[in-house]
Structure 1
Amino acid sequence: MLGKRANRSPPRRAMTLTVKAGQLLMVDLPGPELDPDTARHLSEHGIRAVCLFKRHIVSEAQLTRLCSELRELLGPETLIAVDQEGGGVVRTDFWPFPPSALALGAAQDLALTKEVAAANARFLRSVGLNWNFAPVLDVNVNPLNPVIGDRAFGSDPLKVAEHGLASAEGLMEEGVAACAKHFPGHGDTATDSHLTLPTVNRTRADLDRTELLPFRLAAAAGMPAMMTAHIVFPALDAERPATLSPSILNGLLRREWGYEGVIVTDSMGMQAIDGNYGRGPAAVQALQAGADMVMALGRREVQLETLAAVQSELDSGRYDPQPALGRLSRLATRFPAERRDHPSASADAQLFQHAWARGLSTLGAVRRPVLGGPALLVVRREEVARNVSEAGLSARFLQRALAGLYDLALHEYDDPAGLDWPALRGRADTQGAALLLATTGRLRADFPGLKTEAAPDLHLCLWNPYAVLDVPAPALVTCGFRPEALTALRVFLAGEAEAGGRLPLTGLERAT
């Protein structure tokens, strides 16, 4: 169990006019400083919850100051959230990077998963952050999924649940609220809800066995919060995405499963919602469907539009906010936004490095290139940040990470369709060089003309694990591109350690 389940919500009672719409909303800020105009906006509308992204974070000192100012302004029930999942979704760059969920799934050690989450929480609490939008409980069963990748613990629903609960325990033991996402599951989509409205056409029986299993177990264990997915599940609601569906939130999650924690929406600025339903109407629908908090991220105009729509619903008496306010109050009281010292930062950094190394995995008959020998590395020039990841990997950074291992030549590309694989293979063979291909993107790349006879000697799979399906070569899979992952890669290539991870994914049968 994740802790004592909260008492059931108090009986519904008449709404009072003292309730402000902002008490049910989470917003973001225009920049890294709490300027006077933003402070007035937050205070005027009673907003008590803020989500921070990379653009809000400059340094550890600045982040500590910002969290302190927010708590002083918003009061003792302030919620300051961040997506600090690990792997490709990390908002800070001045702390060591926690391993991805996939790396932990590959390490197959629940105690390690919990230890990593606890260390992650200690970093967050050291600046005053009290809510982490993790763990990801999506079951990654679709090789074409463009948004989950290294964010999932794997494709086995029970193992995803076990690692997710272990991660939540670690976060909460160190004073940070956990939030399971993306309910009912984003693992079987081939489209990104940041860009469009996905549909998952599985039967209820299939959903129960796969997507829903980790969330059902999390609800039973007392997960303090869950984030909704902007996805249509026709077997659960033929018309509305989960975020706006009474049958999914109030019906399945609340009544059928008896869930008593906080339900928070994913960002309503994602095109799945914003492009189909409109900010204000969608916020009202989400609250009426059973959400406790609407994530109203974006520029001031859309925040005001959302606030106005929700305030109108409150003033009309059509929505009773008291159950939601009670759940939010209990969450903030249990996990106050107060900073704690972090004396074990150095040990936690070593833990992260160890965990990344434990997740390093191989597919096929991987042979290390000869140290000091010639090697030709084919890699995208720059992998841009995309949506939730906010980061990418450049060819030059990877070149520096491998410096000194080989007499390394770099072949950079921008468009994989322009690569001449027979010519690259011939160039490597003429020079007696190992031909290496690094895939560095969250999205998979099509490599036309890459046949077995021209294949690289080794595929360095540095982000999306399903990229192994695109390259007919033995693969070394790091489960992420962060510096710690590249250190683990280097140590293996130098012959100083083995790769003991086992990729926790199905659908890799075509990989060499």
Structure 2
Amino acid sequence: MSSADSQSASQDKLNQARRSAGQLIMIRMPGTVLDEDTAQFLRDNHIRAVCLFRQNMVNPEQLSKLTADLRAVMGPNALIGIDQEGGAVVRATWLPAPPAAMALGAIGDVALARAVGSAVARGIKALGFNWNFAPVLDLNNNPANPVIGERSFGADPQRATELALAWMEGSLAEGVACCVKHFPGHGDTHVDSHRDLPTVAKSRSALDALELAPFKAARRAPAMMSAHIVYPALDPEHPATLSRKILTDLLRKEWDYRGVIITDGMDMHAIAGRYGVGKAAVQALAAGADMVMALGNRSTQEETLVALTMAIAAADELSKPGSELGSAALAARLTRLDGLAATYPCAAGAYLTESADERLMAAAWRRALTVVGNPQPLAAATKIRLLACADAAGDGVAEAGLPAAAVAALLARRHEVELVTFEDAESLDWATLPDDGKTVILASTTRLRYGEKARKCWRPDLHLALWNPFQTLDIAAPALVTYGFSAAALEAVADWLAGTLEARGRMPVPLAGNFTHGGD
């Protein structure tokens, strides 16, 4: 073979490796339209998977056009993903607002969970999505968990699994693939993997009994997302996303899982900050992942593509039998991904059940209302001093919470309301509030737990926990818990306050030290 022929053959191998690399990553994109530069990037790199976020969405018409344009560029095997879990983690916010997983846990109705999963799927399918990164199978058994909370169906593995799998079955029946997450379990952490690398230091038997149980039961899920967490009992050296012991030995071999394995976002600090996105992407595929979520910017996406291209080309050159980056393993990955797209094709269309789904979601929010302690409805003449965070910003995972003014407007329908806002809980001095006989209501509109100052000094008459139910552990007051802040949840709160709705939800996680009215 001549030198020119050798160079041409080498370039062909690199081109083929680059093509494979492109089909094994999912990217995020800027903007609300598919501009020509992004479209050409998708074409040049044979990328078939995109995840869209709030920054990509304006209204149904715009979003439907965007997904249609993406399908036209990426082809019939396109995978267009979204995080439409429910509660605070939704992207298409104009769709009927699904209750959070923990709200469904508080209701405990498997048929309702299935119906909600179906309704979520109908809404996003009409917009052109075929892959939803839900439901969450994490068991939130750690009240200090900063990122899961109400996204979990509860702490009991059997009940949470029944509800989550019913939700998934509803979605699959409507033609939208689910991706259960975050394997092997993100519920018992006090660190957010978006910011650092958590460790769950439990024995294998303890993991089997709790964290692993829902995922083992979900082996029929079409896709599973790995967690950026170290589980020393399973692999003391690598987080699950980069662990062959976890993704291949446990999930593929021990459990015989045959669906798609996709990583969580590789731009998260637990991975990018420690390993680098390119190196980590190679390690994830070598560990057994099928697709890498390259959700960074164009620069990190290029870095990921280059690293995967070189690793795939090198593996092909070495022809190592059984290599996770060799041709046989790549073909198996592409077959799984093609199968996912073929079974759950993108098929945008009219959303014919929106009104019925709106009623379904509203009824679910009402059934989820849960009391802690013995809170009482308010008489119409009650004068209220409302305390709330001025700006409940989003955290990159969840959407922004309620502005304080929205809660004040809700209460002002029946009451005279004085609004007191704070930037953060530590900035509010409880002693400065006048003792004038007004009923003091605290509305918690962020996921953040309260600090020592609030726990020691704050004594509202009523706590409206409108997001994270574990905040009821921090404030010595009777509480009404909604597990979310959708318009339907707020209407339920208004009816409860007026005494026309009973709160019948049951907290699906253990709360130690619950407070009764007037307790310390």
* Corresponding residue of 2:363: 354
Deviations 1:52-101 (A, max 9, x none): 00001111001100111111111111000000000010012222211100
| Structure 1 SS opposite 2:88 | coil
Q: Give, as a single letter, the amino acid of the residue that structure 1 aligns with 2:507.
A: L
| Amino acid in structure 2 at the alignment position of 1:443 | L
| Residue matched to 2:177 | 177
Q: Kindly provide the amino acid, as one letter, of the partner of residue 302 in structure 1.
A: T
After TM superposition, give the deviation of residue 289 of structure 1 in Å. Answer: 0.4
The reply to whether residue 383 of structure 1 matches residue 395 of structure 2 is no
Shift of 1:451: 4.8
- Superposed, 1:18-417 pairs within 5 Å as 19-219=19-219, 222-316=220-314, 317=316, 319-320=325-326, 321-417=330-426
Cα distance in 1 for residues equivalent to 2:78 and 2:395: 29
Q: Please name the residue that 2:428 is paired with.
A: 419
> Is the deviation greater in 163-172 or in 370-379?
370-379
Which residue of structure 2 lines up, in the alignment, with residue 9 of structure 1?
Answer: none
Residue 7 of structure 2: aligned partner: none
Instruction: Give the SS at the match of 2:235.
Output: coil
Counterpart residue number, 1:444: 449
CA contact (8 A) 2:370 2:506 kept: yes
Contact in 2 for aligned 1:84/1:134 (Cα 8 Å): yes
Q: Which runs of 5+ in 2 are unaligned?
A: 1-12, 317-322
What is the CA distance between 1:116 and its match in structure 2? Answer: 0.7
The structural deviation recorded for 1:401 is: 2.2
Structure 1 pair 496–74 and aligned structure 2 pair: CA distance change class (3 A): same
> Which amino acid in the other structure matches residue 129 of structure 2?
L
CA contact (8 A) 1:114 1:168 kept: yes
Equivalent residue number for residue 10 of structure 2: none
**TM-score with structure 2 setting the length:** 0.92
The one-letter amino acid of 1:485's match is A
Equivalent position SS for 1:160: helix
* Structure 1 range deviating more: 72-81 or 407-416: 407-416
SS of 1:305 mapped into structure 2:
helix
Residues 118-177 of structure 1: per-residue CA shift (max 9 Å, x gap): 011110011111000000000000010000011000111111111110010011111100
Partner deviation per Cα, 1:361-420 (whole Å, 9 max, x = no partner) = 001111122223211111111111102113222101111222212111111111322323
Are the aligned partners of 1:141 and 1:507 in contact in 2 as well (CA < 8 Å)?
A: no
Distance 2:510 2:424 in 1: 29
Structure 1's unaligned 5+ residue stretches are: 1-13
Give secondary structure in 1 for the equivalent of 2:371: strand
Write the letter of the residue equivalent to 1:497.
L
**Cα deviation per residue 1:204-241 (whole Å; 9 max; x = unaligned)?**
0100001000000001xx11000000000000000100
Check if 1:488 corresponds to 2:492. yes
- Provide the secondary structure at the position in 2 that maps to 1:144: coil
Question: Which among 422, 436, 440 is matched to residue 435 of structure 1?
Answer: 440
Alpha carbons 1:268, 1:279 under 8 Å: kept: yes
- Give the secondary-structure state (helix, strand or coil) at the position aligned to 1:362: strand
Highest relative contact order (Cα 8 Å, sep 6+), 1 or 2? 1
CA deviations on 1:226-258 (whole Å, 9 max, x unpaired) are 000000000000010000000000010000000
Q: Is the 8 A contact 1:416 1:447 kept in 2?
A: no
Q: Which 10-residue stretch deviates more, 274-283 or 92-101?
A: 92-101
1:16 Cα deviation (Å)?
A: 10
SS in 2 for 1:389: coil
For residue 92 of structure 2, what is the amino acid of its counterpart? T
Q: Secondary structure in 2 aligned to 1:122?
A: helix
Q: Distance in 2 between matches of 1:398 and 1:507?
A: 25
Judged with a 3 Å threshold, the aligned counterparts in structure 2 of structure 1 residues 16 and 411 are, in CA distance, closer, same or farther, namely closer
Please give the root-mean-square deviation of Cα atoms over the aligned residues, in Å: 1.6
